[in-house]
Amino acid sequence: MDQVVNQDIKQTLNFIGGKYRPSSSNKTFENICPVDGSVASIVHEADKADVDAAVKAAQAAMKGEWGQMPLTKRLDLICNLVDGINARFDEFLAAEVADTGKPVSLASHLDIPRGAANFQVFADTMKSHHGESFKQETPDGAGAIHYTSERPKGVIGVICPWNLPLLLMTWKVGPALACGNAVVVKPSEETPQTATLLGEVMNEVGIPAGVYNVINGFGPDSAGEFLTQHPGVDAITFTGETITGEAIMKSAAVGMRDVSLELGGKNAGIVFADCDMDKAIEGTLRSVFANCGQVCLSTEKMLVERPIFDEFVSRLKEGVEAMKVGVPEDKDTNMGPLVSLEHRDKVLSYYEAAVKEGATVVTGGGVPDMGDELNKGAWIEPTIWTGLADDASPITDEIFGPCCHIRPFDTEEEAIEITNDSPYGLATSIWTENLTRAHRVAPQIEVGLTWINCWFLRDLRTPFGGSKQSGIGREGGEYSLEFYLETSNICVKL
Ligand code: NAD
């Protein structure tokens, strides 16, 4: 059954055991488009019975055809998902843009193509994946052989955020399915459409019913919590806020379920006086303002060596003021709205705090007038501050908006110390043309990802994840397979 379109308002249903289903309690909520406040779809909130049905469908799939399927056939089906998504590219694009308000130019080159490509990447990784074997000497001289044997973990609970909805979801579902697991996905309540639409593609390419399930709803006392507390879920992978990660880890502790957590960040950019200024400005404009600053890897804390501080601030200001804040369909748009009015309230509370705590507002700081038709949307001005103390809340807290503070520094040691003075440890960019310095500084930064003279340049085989309160575990290539496979050692005495 396809998703139902009712009275011109799209209904976003749950996808359980290969079929679209309304909520069994008939609870629904509105999914609001942040561009103009219109209703993008009516979402059917899964209750406990729906979540239970989804977990049971996944368990049945593991016991049925999917659990028995030869690896080659499984990986062929997963590769077919790429063509399946690309064949419906415009539908995925429209759904993602309606849910997030992000520019079409961004979603069409990042969210949808990379969201689809994740299936190919992990099918390829799984194809070349191999175990280990060891030959052991024994006192009787005959020896023994040890080898690893791997099997899927079972039913994986996948809880996703709203900032890159399809891409971050398939980044988990791709390897989970390649390893032979079944999944129950809980997309963000803000962005439920692409995960739900993917159910149709799963059916089209012939992925057996129950392998991929989607339950919609919120976190606490709703689908998210019902899923993480369900004893039939064997492992949980989550991307979202650190505080939510803590709640999920507590749920996972019951029954000793494994977790993979990709959490918040407060990322610094370090600009040395010997940088290539053009590259540093271009990179910083992207690292602060791409996706309206709603990327976990976004930079919100710029540290600039004193001799070039004034030049950097004035050139970044010039760059920001040349950016176009506008509707997704406009080819010239560089920045869309934030994801929701609720999130805008949070970001604006930091804009106010910055002023109260003594910041100089270099540019922005408020809400732009977008005209009558758009003013109900979650629009916000890209913003730069200087002059805040290191313990001011806009410097210490993750804001997740299009803003940064710029602070001067005098020595390499000071830059490292300020960067590391954070409970988070996700990402950093270092800008310098002195490679000796770059290699000296990079390993001293307490983060999971360090870029030198770039930002968000990803090879999907490399480890991705955060240290400290930014997460537990690594995703990407073989690192993802480690989480989705259970490894046993088999020992043969010769
Ligand atoms: P969030 O934590 O508010 O929500 C994420 C998901 O968790 C949603 O689907 C939500 O419904 C669900 N949820 C909330 N409470 C729950 C609970 N108690 N039990 C089960 N599920 C629950 O995060 P968000 O606002 O959607 O996303 C933004 C955050 O995600 C930022 O902090 C950002 O840094 C982080 N993020 C991190 C990465 C990374 O790779 N480290 C990537 C993207 C986003």
| Ligand 1 centroid to residue 233 C-alpha, Å | 19
| Ligand 1 centroid to residue 156 C-alpha, Å | 17
> In the chain, which segments carry CATH 3.40.605.10?
5-263+471-493
To which residue do tokens 């800008």 refer?
431
260 exposure class (CB count in 10 Å sphere: 0-12, 13-18, 19+) = buried
**C-alpha 136 chain-centroid distance:** 43
Render each residue's pLDDT in the chain as its tens digit; 494 residues: 444 444 578 999 999 999 999 999 999 999 999 999 999 999 999 999 999 999 999 999 999 999 999 999 999 999 999 999 999 999 999 999 999 999 999 999 999 999 999 999 999 999 999 999 999 999 999 999 999 999 999 999 999 999 999 999 999 999 999 999 999 999 999 999 999 999 999 999 999 999 999 999 999 999 999 999 999 999 999 999 999 999 999 999 999 999 999 999 999 999 999 999 999 999 999 999 999 999 999 999 999 999 999 999 999 999 999 999 999 999 999 999 999 999 999 999 999 999 999 999 999 999 999 999 999 999 999 999 999 999 999 999 999 999 999 999 999 999 999 999 999 999 999 999 999 999 999 999 999 999 999 999 999 999 999 999 999 999 999 999 999 999 999 999 99
What are the start-end ranges of the E strands in 316-448? 360-363, 383-386, 403-409, 424-425, 427-431
The pLDDT assigned to 8 comes to: 73
Rounded to 5 degrees, what are φ and ψ at 200?
-65, -40
Residue 73's CB is within 10 A of a number of other CB atoms, namely 11
Catalytic-role residue among 33, 79, 292, 296: 296
Probe residue for ligand 1, chosen from 110, 159, 248 as the CB with the greatest number of ligand atoms within 8 Å: 159
Confirm whether 204 is a catalytic residue: no
- Asked if residues 235 and 255 have their Cβ atoms less than 8 Å apart, the reply is no
| Ligand 1 centroid to residue 240 C-alpha, Å | 2
The pLDDT assigned to 4 comes to: 47
- Asked if residues 476 and 462 have their Cβ atoms less than 8 Å apart, the reply is yes
What are the start-end ranges of the E strands in 120-248? 133-136, 144-152, 155-159, 182-186, 212-214, 235-239
Catalytic-role residue among 262, 300, 305, 381: 262
What are the start-end ranges of the E strands in 33-110? 39-44
The CATH number of the domain covering residues in 5-263+471-493: 3.40.605.10
Confirm whether 246 is a catalytic residue: no
Which ligand 1 atom is the nearest neighbour of the CA of 343? 25
396, 401, 407, 409 alpha-carbon torsion, rounded to 10°: 70
Nearest residue (CA) to ligand 1, atom 22? 219
Which ligand 1 atom is the nearest neighbour of the CA of 242? 32
Question: Helix crossing, 165-178 with 193-205: angle to 10°?
Answer: 40
Probe residue for ligand 1, chosen from 239, 287, 469 as the CB with the greatest number of ligand atoms within 8 Å: 239
Give the pTM: 0.96
Which ligand 1 atom is the nearest neighbour of the CA of 228? 20
Pocket of ligand 1 (CB under 6 A): 159-163, 168, 186, 188-189, 218-220, 224-225, 228, 239-241, 244, 247-248, 262-265, 296, 398, 400, 426, 466, 470-471
| Ligand 1 centroid to residue 319 C-alpha, Å | 30
Which residues make Cβ contacts (< 8 Å) with residue 73, sequence separation at least 6? none
Rounded to 5 degrees, what are φ and ψ at 424?
-90, 165
Nearest to 392 by CA among 358, 352, 421: 358
| Ligand 1 centroid to residue 70 C-alpha, Å | 35
Probe residue for ligand 1, chosen from 221, 241, 251, 464 as the CB with the greatest number of ligand atoms within 8 Å: 241
Looking at domain 267-459, which of 3.40.50.720, 3.40.50.2300, 3.40.50.12170, 3.40.309.10 is its CATH number?
3.40.309.10
- Asked if residues 114 and 167 have their Cβ atoms less than 8 Å apart, the reply is yes
The pLDDT assigned to 2 comes to: 44
**What H or E segment, with its residue span, contains residue 68?**
helix 65-68
- Asked if residues 410 and 306 have their Cβ atoms less than 8 Å apart, the reply is yes
| Ligand 1 centroid to residue 483 C-alpha, Å | 19
- Asked if residues 460 and 445 have their Cβ atoms less than 8 Å apart, the reply is no
Half-sphere exposure of 180 (CA within 13 A, CB side): 21
> In the chain, which segments carry CATH 3.40.309.10?
267-459
Nearest to 77 by CA among 204, 207, 197: 207
Bridge partners (DSSP) listed for residue 71: none
